[in-house]
Amino acid sequence: MPLNLDDLPEREPVPDVPVEIRIFAPNGDQHECLGSIGFRPSLRRPHFMDLLLVGANGLPLRMLNRQVVVIDRNDGTVLYDPTMSHLLGFPILDRHDVAWMRKNPHWPKVLELHDNPVLPPEEQDGLFLDRERE
């Protein structure tokens, strides 16, 4: 059954301590871990910030796809939602992300998971960005 973001409480986008998080990508990928999200200036995208998965020890683990949704697994609050990234006070989504979001307005309003992804995995980045789009 799809998860409706309207049913989840909202809170500050960045937790100050590691929590059990769930990460959802538009292609249906999911990941659960103890950690938090973080941001750093992008080396390849001047004037933008990168979204990071930060481990329980406070060290960055992986760069996240900026289109993911991150939810606190314990209380269901949304920690990061790309449609609300403009409220962070610094730019996260670049023109490619914005164009994709406009073409897919149903994401992430309702998270369509493993059995019913928004896009096939081969057509969309999953959870992590091991390489940056050119």
pLDDT of residue 124: 53
**Number of domains, the chain:** 1
Residue 125 lies in a domain: no
Integer Cα distance of 104 and 74 in angstroms = 28
Residue 127 lies in a domain: no
Residue 59 lies in a domain: yes
Ramachandran region, residue 16 (left: φ > 0; alpha: ψ -120 to 50; beta: rest): alpha
SS3 71: strand
Residue 74 lies in a domain: yes
pLDDT of residue 95: 93
Residue numbers of the chain with a pLDDT score lower than 70: 1-16, 110-134
Residue 128 lies in a domain: no
- pTM for the predicted model, two decimal places: 0.72
Question: Which H helix or E strand runs over 102?
Answer: helix 95-103
Integer Cα distance of 39 and 127 in angstroms = 16
